[in-house]
Structure 1
């Protein structure tokens, strides 16, 4: 059995504010019944990455290009880069399942011709936790 760790998942999307909200709601619907300790947030385009070194536009600079490739024109002004951030405590095996569910929320058919209707990019990392037992 794998031990539980704290993970930070990030998923950049290029969409309208309403579409981003629907993605967040869909993730909440399948995530909450899993009973995992988690925090899910949707970060707006004006935010920076957690370490502050990049803007979301810099981190996900390829997403508007994915839109142009899909639709053959620049995106409407209503589209912008947003980031879904998920912190959760689980085993690495459970994280793989969560990642699969998360990406299928945006791309239900992984065999479709690229790019996706809502361009996305993301990843995850394990987080180091502070020792809290006083040693």
Structure 2
């Protein structure tokens, strides 16, 4: 069913890697918009770790707190190494379309093309999505992404 949803991909990476991943995600979404009409309209935001994990929620959890395991995964794989400019960042992708799970799987493949590899990923990541399954989440999606629906006059 065509609706609003939000894909979330948390990463622990340098800003350049976060921007590169966002560019790849944009290319994927453009392709999906043209080929299968699964994605009608979309918007990508790079959210820094100090921002709220769920804007408008009563919970005060930050993006960095939501993905607190990612820096630890990197440290375990690189003991004693300097993380340099790596930071927790979230790619937040608002979409008006359908096929949320398949699309999230494709986005995760951008973060880790070989999910069967041994050891930790070079860029630790975690994913999730928000669908309008209750009034709270419908209101959240409408507030942040309702403009995507209006692009199509829906």
TM over 0.5: yes
Query: Of the candidates 79, 86, 99, which is equivalent to residue 93 of structure 2?
Result: 86
Residue by residue, what CA displacement relative to the aligned partner does 1:59-117 show, whole Å, maximum 9, x if unpaired? 111011110122223542311100000111222xx212211110000100010013111
Helix, strand or coil for the counterpart of 2:29? helix
Query: Of the candidates 29, 39, 43, which is equivalent to residue 43 of structure 2?
Result: 39
Helix, strand or coil for the counterpart of 2:4? strand
**Which runs of no fewer than 5 residues in structure 2 stay unpaired?**
34-38, 133-137, 143-154
1:14-53 map, 5 Å: 14-35=12-33, 36=39, 37-50=41-54, 51=57, 53=60
1:99-110 map, 5 Å: 99-110=104-115
Q: Check whether the contact 2:108–2:127 (CA below 8 A) recurs between aligned residues.
A: no
User: In the aligned structure 1, how far is the partner of 2:15 from the partner of 2:122?
Assistant: 15
Q: Check whether the contact 1:67–1:75 (CA below 8 A) recurs between aligned residues.
A: no
User: In the aligned structure 1, how far is the partner of 2:90 from the partner of 2:7?
Assistant: 10
Tell me how many residue pairs correspond in the alignment: 126
Helix, strand or coil for the counterpart of 1:116? coil
Report how far residue 54 of structure 1 moved: 0.8
**Which runs of no fewer than 5 residues in structure 1 stay unpaired?**
131-135
TM-score by length of 2: 0.75
Shift in alpha-carbon separation, 1:75–1:120, aligned structure 2, 3 A: farther
TM-score by length of 1: 0.85
- 2:152 alignment partner in structure 1: none
- 2:7 alignment partner in structure 1: 9
Q: Which has the higher helix share?
A: 2
Shift in alpha-carbon separation, 1:27–1:39, aligned structure 2, 3 A: same
What is the Cα-based RMSD across aligned positions, in Å?
1.6
